[in-house]
Structure 1
Amino acid sequence: MTRFKQAVYLAPGLRTPFGRGGGALAAYDALSLSVPVVRAMAEQVAGRKPDLFLWGSVIPNLGWSNLAREIWMDAKLDAAVPAYSVVLACGTSMTAAFSAAGTIGPGVDVVMVGGSEVMSRPSLGLTSQANDRLLGLFATDPAQAVAALGSLRATDFNLPTKGWANRITGRTMGDHMEETAKQWGISRQAQDEWSYRSHQKAIAGWESGFFGDLVIALPELARDANPRADTSLEKLAALKPAFDKSGLGTLTAGNSSSITDGAAGLWVMSDQGRRRLPANLPTVRLLDYEIAAVDFHKEGLLMAPSYAIPRLLDRHGLSFEDIALWEIHEAFSAQVLANVAALEKPGWIAEKTHVTRDFGRFPWERVNPNGGSVAIGHPFGATGARDLSQAVKELAAMPRPSKAIVSVCADGGQGVVALLENG
């Protein structure tokens, strides 16, 4: 069973190395950092162009409205290719893939999708009150308006100093995740252990060459800057809590994804479209997807994947053990641990999702074999495409038929999950 009228396939795209916030890639913006990725991917397709281009970014920027079209034109590629932008918080570029899959049909066989974020350089916005005051002055007395610009105060700005807090609650993702970690009893030790393994696996992935054909080197950076070969459980345990500083906090800079700059792409194709890409590029089938949302006043802000996964598996009669690969976005180590704890809790799935099947044992050993966002980094708009590209390459090398789940949590109490198959 599949969601689509015809078979839809995914192939790994390319991405930049992911840079540390304030580091090597900080001089870019979401537009300029995307251009080298898009140009490199365009070189892969016969005829040097896809049929459609979808791209997204999460942090707003007044310099553009349709980021995808601006990237395409700055890349100096065929202007006849339509382009539009997609946004769904951290699930942005995965949602772009789902949107692209829905366009596959007559005239659309190959779609390039992806996303980017330069978290080092967020735009500063004025509060509505300051904005109205200045607009009024510019309309009546431009000279006074210019003078007023010099007297703006910190309170006149919407500053991103709270980690892009949820607008409704005013609390950061970390603040919310601290609450969820306590609710689910996720210990500091368990979080640090997950983080340590993520770094180990990401470093091993680089050393083995796994990332070599997924990442393009930039003049400023040749490989991911965030994975730490020198970290240890002792070093992680020594870090102070980053969000709850009351003495009860468990989330630290070491077990949370970091401020990151990066851009990542992905290919979405019909069966016919696969012939326009290099023969050595692995492809897998996108069977289905689920987008879930929860009331984050009642449930954890980042817990929607635990609702989406059972619904998606149930539609296909699958258990947890039927999934050979789990690629789960690590916004925080605690986020992965809490969502899976929910899936494992007796009765929880039936109560929350009304799916009554027993999905069996969860195979922890199959999660993120080449590391996740805690180690690699999390540029909001790029993470979905990075996760999917990584999963496609991993899954394509497994015995056939094998299946994968790719899961990304998102601000606003949402989650996006894909079901892939290499058969």
Structure 2
Amino acid sequence: MSRFAEPVFIAAGLRTPFGRGGGALANYDAVSLSVPVVEEMAKLAEPDLTIWGTVIPNLGWSNIAREIWLDGKLNPNVPAFSVVLACSTSMTASFAAAGMLGGGLNLILVGGSEVMSRPSLALTAEASKRLTDLFAQDPAAALAALGALTPQDYVLPTKGWANRLTGRTMGDHMEETAKAWRISREAQDDWALKSHQRAVAGWNGGFFDDLVISLPELSRDANPRADTSAERLSGLKPAFDRESGMGSLTAGNSSPITDGAAGCWVSNEEGLKRLPDGTPYARIIDYEVSAVDLRTEGLLMAPSYAIPRLLARHHLGFADIALWEIHEAFAAQVLANVAAITDPNWVRDKAGVSEEMGNFDWDRVNPNGGSVAIGHPFGATGARDLSQAVKELWAMPVGSRGIVSICADGGQGTVALLERV
């Protein structure tokens, strides 16, 4: 049984190549990098609504979805609004779109973008208030005060994108989780190597050709490394826990700083008729949004709650899932979440599910690589994962099911159940 009264579909969209941080796409911002994607998708079909998101704040806009649409000089009568849910942003956009179909909304363009190379710098709330108050009273003194600002007056990305509550990055948190679940460095490096090998093979085999548009600066994902090896990965130093001698997360088994934009389609049966023939699509049967206590259960462990609940609701086991598209924030995060969902005690005590799920088949996970190799522009990852999963399912028999899973900062996660139709 579907969550929806009428069939809802996810159709593969387009994305930019994903660029390395500080690399070919670093001169874009989240708006300008999204415009080529939205323009190309609008050439295929004009949507009835656009939903877009980005994670890293920028005071230059308040509704990035509308800014992108208008910058693309597209039909101004098409409405647009924005969403944000950390790494699950553009997947959350797809869930929002699914619930809005009908009543004249038949085809919705969703997606997201991130230019992690150029985060905006901001003043602290205290410094901002001090200056705005001073500008109201004495503009000349306020201008002088601008020149006297110190580093303490700025919100600087000195710790990457640290969680506000804990002051620690996702990598810091994941190191704790990897230790708690006894995820070895060797297992992490092995999964990272598979991710690179599969992404490179996907590119060389033409899998990504109709999913990725070419930009003047870049025509292919920059992060996947054809020359990586187990030996090279094993030689990298810990990236987060550098002091204890026990750190296992490295630059090689973690998703890299990445710039990119991605979109996909959410549609009902009427909307599908407007897409070009041959566009891969799948029915979205159901989804789950979950959250955990990040202080005790791991910042990125929410999918381990969502996946069993979603499967149990549909009386499915692991063998019923032909494809797993799991976001690889870190190799350790994938390994830990699968370790959790295959632990009956965890599934029963934490997710509240008593059903047996069976054996998990790792060969069905991320057949064309994941975020460790491809990259992880926060706002774009959900749409990239969904489009990739839909195309992978498209090559499978009718009735094949897929799970798309994304962890998110703040102890949250989103999971979708798709079916080839």
What TM-score range do you get, normalising by the shorter chain? over 0.9
Please tell me the residue identity of whatever aligns with 1:104.
Answer: L
Please tell me the residue identity of whatever aligns with 1:95.
Answer: T
Q: Does the aligned pair in 2 maintain the 1:192–1:233 contact within 8 Å?
A: yes
Corresponding residue SS for 1:84: strand
- Of 368, 371, 374 in structure 1, the residue corresponding to residue 369 of structure 2 is 371
Q: Residues 280-299 of structure 1 correspond to what in structure 2 (within 5 A)?
A: 280-299=278-297
Q: CA deviation at 1:189?
A: 0.5
Counterpart of 2:391? 393
Aligned pairs, number: 420
Calculate percent identity across the aligned residue pairs: 70
Please tell me the residue identity of whatever aligns with 1:372.
Answer: G
Cα distance per residue 1:135-181 (max 9 Å; x no partner): 12111111111111112111111111211100000000000000000
Please tell me the residue identity of whatever aligns with 1:218.
Answer: L
Please tell me the residue identity of whatever aligns with 1:226.
Answer: N
The alignment status of 1:260 with 2:273, answered yes or no, reads: no
Counterpart of 2:411? 413
Q: Residues 273-352 of structure 1 correspond to what in structure 2 (within 5 A)?
A: 273-352=271-350
- Provide the C-alpha distance between the structure 2 equivalents of 1:365 and 1:14, rounded to a whole number of angstroms: 26
Corresponding residue SS for 1:218: coil
The alignment status of 1:228 with 2:225, answered yes or no, reads: yes
Provide the TM-score with structure 2 as the length reference: 0.99
Q: Does the aligned pair in 2 maintain the 1:166–1:412 contact within 8 Å?
A: yes
Please tell me the residue identity of whatever aligns with 2:278.
Answer: N
Cα distance per residue 1:76-109 (max 9 Å; x no partner): 1000101000100000000000000001112011
Q: Does the aligned pair in 1 maintain the 2:131–2:142 contact within 8 Å?
A: yes
- Provide the C-alpha distance between the structure 1 equivalents of 2:417 and 2:308, rounded to a whole number of angstroms: 11
Counterpart of 1:185? 182
- Provide the C-alpha distance between the structure 2 equivalents of 1:354 and 1:55, rounded to a whole number of angstroms: 33
Counterpart of 1:120? 117
Q: CA deviation at 1:351?
A: 0.6
Cα distance per residue 1:255-300 (max 9 Å; x no partner): 0001000000000100111110001111110110000001111110
- Provide the C-alpha distance between the structure 2 equivalents of 1:333 and 1:383, rounded to a whole number of angstroms: 16
- Provide the C-alpha distance between the structure 2 equivalents of 1:301 and 1:178, rounded to a whole number of angstroms: 10
Counterpart of 2:380? 382
Counterpart of 2:237? 240
- Provide the C-alpha distance between the structure 2 equivalents of 1:283 and 1:60, rounded to a whole number of angstroms: 32
Corresponding residue SS for 1:15: coil
- Provide the C-alpha distance between the structure 2 equivalents of 1:342 and 1:4, rounded to a whole number of angstroms: 29
Corresponding residue SS for 2:344: coil
Q: Does the aligned pair in 1 maintain the 2:304–2:351 contact within 8 Å?
A: no
Q: CA RMSD in A?
A: 0.6
- Provide the C-alpha distance between the structure 2 equivalents of 1:265 and 1:95, rounded to a whole number of angstroms: 12
- Provide the C-alpha distance between the structure 2 equivalents of 1:10 and 1:132, rounded to a whole number of angstroms: 45
- Of 40, 60, 63 in structure 1, the residue corresponding to residue 60 of structure 2 is 63
The alignment status of 1:27 with 2:35, answered yes or no, reads: no
Q: CA deviation at 1:355?
A: 0.8
Counterpart of 1:196? 193
Q: CA deviation at 1:217?
A: 0.3
Q: CA deviation at 1:346?
A: 3.2
Cα distance per residue 1:102-151 (max 9 Å; x no partner): 01112011000000000001001111111111112111111111111112
Q: Does the aligned pair in 1 maintain the 2:18–2:259 contact within 8 Å?
A: yes
Corresponding residue SS for 1:290: strand
Cα distance per residue 1:235-256 (max 9 Å; x no partner): 1111110100121100000000
Counterpart of 1:18? 18
The alignment status of 1:78 with 2:83, answered yes or no, reads: no
Unaligned runs of 5+ in 2: none
Deviates more, 1:18-27 or 1:138-147: 138-147
Q: CA deviation at 1:376?
A: 0.1
Deviates more, 1:359-368 or 1:148-157: 148-157
Counterpart of 2:420? 422
Counterpart of 1:96? 93
Unaligned runs of 5+ in 1: none
Counterpart of 1:36? 36
- Provide the C-alpha distance between the structure 2 equivalents of 1:241 and 1:183, rounded to a whole number of angstroms: 17
Q: Does the aligned pair in 2 maintain the 1:163–1:173 contact within 8 Å?
A: no
Counterpart of 1:146? 143
Cα distance per residue 1:309-335 (max 9 Å; x no partner): 000001100001100000000000000
Corresponding residue SS for 2:62: coil
Cα distance per residue 1:197-231 (max 9 Å; x no partner): 00000000000000000000000000000000011
- Provide the C-alpha distance between the structure 2 equivalents of 1:59 and 1:78, rounded to a whole number of angstroms: 27
Q: Does the aligned pair in 1 maintain the 2:9–2:268 contact within 8 Å?
A: yes
Q: CA deviation at 1:40?
A: 0.1
